[in-house]
């Protein structure tokens, strides 16, 4: 019975975005979307869906979409390696709503960085932080390979060699990032992490990566988004361990603060669903990142 269910799920249609959906982003670059077997879903751990707050989120509506969106900003230059920014959406969202609500394409273009933005479909419109196949060993490595090979075949890039990688996640997107850092297969390529009100847990995985791989992390958090206690607990631990970091109100953060500090905690008065776009924070963090300019 389980095998029959798996076969059924694997051949259900994905929710690929329409050309009309892509049109608004053409002013900023080229928007592509494809379906990959290495995408987070379907996954064996969601074959029966997911229950939350006494409600079932069935697989056929929330866990069969293998879409991956790719955005190439205008002015992108092909170089020896391909730098990538992966963004992971949070609860009750999907690729389409994420690009619209948080102005991903606009902010990415405005940052002026010479990289490609990749947004895999997570649990679609569901209250779930699970990252599917990207939480499996080498799952992230497989997806990066498929994305680069697709872009090469489409003649958008000339090489399939990955360069520097940034992982960005809003809200529940933290969970898949933590597993990618731990066992995704390309940890040495991951240079920076942006958490947008998303430090709910898995903190030891982020700390291990920071300590062993010398990465950079920007963590913005809110009063009521559910991340304040975990963030403040981590800062207390860092104090006890004698590990330096920068903590300040978001409105006081200067570009140099974002650029020069390896670990940054920003407390904001914004609401949970505002932290990415209201102050163009995604754009600002990218500007301060290791990525090269276009």
What local confidence, expressed as pLDDT, does residue 24 receive? 79
What H or E segment, with its residue span, contains residue 4? helix 2-10
Q: For every one of its 294 residues, what pLDDT tens digit does the chain have, with 9 covering 90 and above?
A: 444 444 334 434 445 555 556 667 889 999 999 999 999 999 999 999 999 999 999 999 999 999 999 999 999 998 889 999 999 999 999 999 999 999 999 999 999 999 999 999 999 999 999 999 999 999 999 999 999 999 999 999 999 999 999 999 999 999 999 999 999 999 999 999 999 999 999 999 999 999 999 899 999 999 999 999 999 999 999 999 999 999 999 999 999 999 999 999 999 999 999 999 999 999 999 999 999 999
HSE of 4, CA atoms in CB hemisphere, 13 A: 1
Round to whole Å and give the CA distance between 49 and 56: 7
The reported pTM is 0.93
Give the CA diameter of the chain.
57
Assign domain 2-287 one CATH number from 3.40.50.1820, 1.10.8.60, 3.40.950.10, 3.40.718.10: 3.40.50.1820
CA-to-CA dists, residue 4 to 10, 49, 193, angstroms: 10, 15, 39
What are the helix (H) ranges across 86-138? 95-102, 104-111
Query: Would you give the DSSP letter of residue 13?
Result: P
Q: Work out the number of other CB atoms within 10 angstroms of the CB of residue 59.
A: 20
Q: Give the start-to-end residue ranges of the domains of the chain.
A: 2-287
Query: Would you give the DSSP letter of residue 250?
Result: G
What local confidence, expressed as pLDDT, does residue 17 receive? 53
What local confidence, expressed as pLDDT, does residue 178 receive? 98
Cα–Cα–Cα angle for 4, 7, 8, rounded to 5 degrees = 85
């Amino acid at each position: 019975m389980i095998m029959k269910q798996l076969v059924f799920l694997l051949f259900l249609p994905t929710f690929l975005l329409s050309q009309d959906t892509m049109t608004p982003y053409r002013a900023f670059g080229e928007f592509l979307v494809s379906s990959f077997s290495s995408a987070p879903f379907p996954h064996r751990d969601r074959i029966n869906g997911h229950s939350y707050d006494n409600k079932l989120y069935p697989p056929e509506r929330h866990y069969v979409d293998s879409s991956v969106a790719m955005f190439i900003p205008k002015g992108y230059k092909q170089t020896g390696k391909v730098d990538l920014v992966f963004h992971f959406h949070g609860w009750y969202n999907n690729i389409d709503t994420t690009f619209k609500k948080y102005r991903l394409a606009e902010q990415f273009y405005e940052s002026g960085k010479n990289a490609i933005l990749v947004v895999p479909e997570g649990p679609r419109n569901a209250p779930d932080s699970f990252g599917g196949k990207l939480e499996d060993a080498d799952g992230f490595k497989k997806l990066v390979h498929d994305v680069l090979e697709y872009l090469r075949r489409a003649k958008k890039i000339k090489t399939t060699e990955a360069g520097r990688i940034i992982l960005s996640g809003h809200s529940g997107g933290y969970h898949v990032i933590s597993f990618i850092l731990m066992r995704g297969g390309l940890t040495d390529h991951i240079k920076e992490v942006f958490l947008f009100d998303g430090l709910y847990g898995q903190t030891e995985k982020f700390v291990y990566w920071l300590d062993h791989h010398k990465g950079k992390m920007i963590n913005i958090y809110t009063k009521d988004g559910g991340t304040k206690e975990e963030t403040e607990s981590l800062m207390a631990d860092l104090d006890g361990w004698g590990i330096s970091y920068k903590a300040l109100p978001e409105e006081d953060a200067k570009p140099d603060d974002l650029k020069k500090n390896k670990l940054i905690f920003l407390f904001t008065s914004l609401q949970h669903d505002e932290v990415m776009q209201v102050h163009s924070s995604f754009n600002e963090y990218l500007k301060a990142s290791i990525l090269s300019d276009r």
